[in-house]
Amino acid sequence: MQKIVLLFATIALLAGCNTKNNRKNMQDDPVKNVSKTTEIQYATSFDIDIFEGHKILTLKNPWPGTDKTFTYALVTENGSLANPENYDAVVNVPVKQIVVTSTTHIPSLEMLNELESLVGFPNLSYISSEKTRARIEKKEIKELGKNEDINTEILIELNPDAVIAFGIDGDNSTFKTIENSGIPVLYNADWTETSPLGKAEWIKFFGALFNKEKEADSIFKNIETEYLSAKKIASEAKEKPTVLSGAMYKDVWYMPQGDSWGAQFIADANGEYLWKNSEGTGSLSLNLESVLEKGHDADVWIGPGQFTSLDQMQHASQVYTQFKAFKTAEVYSYSMRKGETGGVLYFELAPNRPDLVLKDLIKILHPTLFTEHNFYFFNKLK
């Protein structure tokens, strides 16, 4: 289920406002002129403009294939807002109580020291974080059911200051029900980003909600510095190992497309992803014969689905044993590090900490460059 959530996401709704009209209305009021704009360098799906007494969070590309734009007004203490009806949601900040709907939102709350604000989450068993699980054990975070069918009665009773949602289209009535109860719903589109640093930069989205822009910026800059430094070290490697990825599911082999997040990691780790020229940001669906022909001699196999041992792979299909990377035991998986209830840590934390992912991959592809680095997400299959 987590894998499906990672690849495709779920849920959605709301109708968009016209950002140009909103900004024109704001600029017509001389008291509300923009004082500054939060720097967003890598993420492509949101902007934050800061005005006197409020902030405007603009969400673009909430899900693939849409031209909808959402505008959210974040009203600061003692601030005011002209024409609140022009916005898709109005939230008083800093937020005190929040509901999020994706495990990828959890690390941002933790890094900003705002975990105590989390009061509800769907599918609690998917959460891997030890800190968050400790709060779950104390019954401090309510179970809200399934993402595609959130228990609105419990959520409305919690009455959070905001619900952070995500969706693949605009066809989920659950969020409309929540909105109609007076609870603001804001989409978070971190999953649509294809740049590793673009995904991580969404901590600034949460920073705006908690009035912690400076903290969010500092956290992100540290991640960016570590990532770019590791990338530079990898670029100096003299060899570029060839890379195979993915595995079969019911006779179809799924692997990252050439413009995807996963493919970008391999490129930045100075690896030669054999399908790097494929177009698209999602996943390829290939037949076994084409993968075997092209990837038979790949040096390294990264991310073989949910498999956690070579034995398990062999029992699933003897064809896996024909690949060179299998024969040389150069197969690495992110599926082995799990939370106490089975949630895979990679799905939760990797989008927020691309620097750790990249260092793992560099250690895999160029072991002599990162001898002191211990694997954080990946493990070599035995």
- Number of C-beta neighbours around residue 329 at 10 A: 12
**Predicted pLDDT at 37:** 84
Residues 81 and 185 in one domain: yes
Residues 7 and 122 reside in one and the same domain: yes
pLDDT tens digits along 47-77:
999 998 999 999 998 988 888 899 999 999 8
CA distances from 120 to 35, 84, 116, 141, 170 (A): 34, 27, 11, 5, 23
Averaged pLDDT score across all residues of the chain: 90
Based on the domain organization, do 194 and 254 belong to the same domain? Answer: no
Q: Domain boundary at 200, 223, 246, which?
A: 223
The top-scoring range by mean pLDDT among 142-156, 172-186, 189-203 is: 189-203
Predicted local confidence at residue 363, as pLDDT:
97
- Examine residue 14 and state whether it is found in any structural domain, yes or no: yes
The per-residue pLDDT for 173 is 81
Structure confidence by residue, pLDDT tens digits, 29-41: 444 456 688 899 9
Cis peptide before 94 (omega within 30 of 0): yes
pLDDT band at 22 (very low <50, low <70, confident <90, very high): very low
Q: How many helices, marked H, and strands, marked E, lie in the chain?
A: 15, 20
Measured between alpha carbons, how far apart are the two ends of the chain, in Å? Answer: 25
Indicate if 338 and 259 belong to the same structural domain.
Answer: yes
CATH number (domain holding residue 244): 3.40.50.1980
Domain that holds residue 153: 2-223
Same domain? For 155 and 256 the reply is no
Q: Which of 171, 191, 223 is the last residue of a domain?
A: 223
Predicted confidence band of residue 82 (pLDDT cuts 50, 70, 90):
confident
pLDDT at 181 over 60: yes
Query: Does residue 18 carry a pLDDT above 90?
Result: no
Number of domains in the chain: 2
Q: Are residues 191 and 243 in the same domain?
A: no
299 and 154, same structural domain? no
Residues 101, 191 share a domain = yes
Regarding whether 269 and 167 lie in a shared domain, the answer is no
Residues 189 and 240 in one domain: no
Which comes out higher in pLDDT, residue 338 or 6? 338
Say yes or no: 172 and 301 in one domain. Answer: no
